[in-house]
Amino acid sequence: MKPLFVIVVLCLGASCAHAQADRPLDNATLKQAEYPHPTGTLVVTTGQPAARAPEARPPFDALDRNGDGQIDEREAAAYITLANDFDYADTNRDHRVSRREFDRW
């Protein structure tokens, strides 16, 4: 039973490592453990994925597609972060984000 458990653990570890392969690990959080076994030593390395760089914020004029000096909810949909924060950014609750509101947001 013990060899089967080791094989299952190795397979699970490999699938987890493969799932995170698209994001490098943050070297500051890497931890390594060694487990002796009659057939050799199992080395397990764990860590947190490196933080993603923040998305670059597009300029106001790029979002104000119709050039009226306001970003409505439809225009905000082009920038998901603003779309998610639209009610917060729209401080005067007129269903539009002005340049001033955008700069303060």
Tens digits of per-residue pLDDT, 26-52? 556 778 889 998 999 999 888 877 777
Q: Which long-range contacts (CB under 8 A, 24 or more apart) does 20-23 make?
A: 20/49, 23/49, 23/50, 23/52
Average pLDDT for the chain = 79
Q: How many whole angstroms separate alpha carbon 92 and alpha carbon 100? A: 11
Residue 40: which domain range? 2-46
38 and 11 inside one domain: yes
Element (H, E) at 44: strand 40-46
Domain assignment present for residue 21? The answer is yes
Closest by CA to 47, choosing from 83, 74, 75, 20, is 20
Q: Where is average pLDDT lowest: 11-20, 39-48, 95-104?
A: 11-20
pLDDT given for residue 27 in this prediction: 58
In angstroms, rounded to a whole number, what is the distance separating the alpha carbons of residues 34 and 42? 6
CB 90 within 8 A of CB 100: no
Q: How many domains does the chain have?
A: 2
pTM beyond 0.75, yes or no: no
pLDDT greater than 50 at residue 21: no
In this structure, is residue 51 part of a structural domain?
A: no
Q: Given a cut of 90, is residue 18 above it in pLDDT?
A: no
Q: Which one, of 74, 73, 55, 75, lies nearest residue 63 by Cα?
A: 75
